[in-house]
Amino acid sequence: MNAVKFLIAAYVATWVIHGVYLGSLVRRFRRLRREEREVGKGK
């Protein structure tokens, strides 16, 4: 039973890492879109 905790921990850790990375991509996309609009206004 104890070993199953390790199994769940490994699967959860995998998706947490992917989630954090995908979150960082979304944040960077939003920041760049904002910058893109600002550059567009400056023209």
Residues in touch with other proteins (CB under 8 A):
2-4, 6-7, 9-11, 13-14, 17-18, 21-22, 25, 28-29, 32-33, 35-36, 39, 42
Q: How far apart are CA 16 and CA 27, in angstroms?
A: 16
Residue 32, judged by CB atoms within 10 A of its CB (0-12, 13-18, 19+), counts as: exposed
Q: What minimum distance in Å lies between the beta carbon of 38 and other proteins? A: 9
Q: What minimum distance in Å lies between the beta carbon of 22 and other proteins? A: 7
Q: What minimum distance in Å lies between the beta carbon of 39 and other proteins? A: 4
Cα Rg of the chain (Å, integer): 19
